Amino acid sequence: MTKTELISVVAEKTGFKKKDAEAAVNSVVEAITETLASGDKVSIVGFGTFEVRDRKEKQVINPQTKQKMTAPASKAPAFKAGQALKNAVNK
């Protein structure tokens, strides 16, 4: 499902106009992004948890040159599905 398709589904399920549904979806995505950028996590009961995980510095090999390089430490967004979502997917 694309973002456009999600907006259409939200508009259909809520009775909102597509313009209002788009604003709602964009607001949710923006709020999650801002919260993760500040280092906090977002927990949606029954759905899951968005969080930021630290990646350690590691040795990698450039596939073109076969030269060893060091990939710097970084942060990566992650999602852990809640039990209700897992159950819904496995039905």
pLDDT reported for residue 61: 94
pLDDT reported for residue 32: 97
Domain with 43, as residue range(s), is 3-89
23-41 pLDDT, tens per residue? Answer: 999 999 999 999 999 999 9
- Mean pLDDT (whole number) for 73-84: 96
pLDDT reported for residue 71: 93
Structural domain tally of the chain?
A: 1
- The residue whose two tokens read 């589904």 is 9
What CATH number is given to the structural domain containing 67? 4.10.520.10
Structure-block tokens of residue 28: 């949710």
- Average predicted confidence (pLDDT) for the chain: 96
44-67 pLDDT, tens per residue? Answer: 999 999 999 999 999 999 999 999
Distance, C-alpha 47 to centroid of its chain: 12
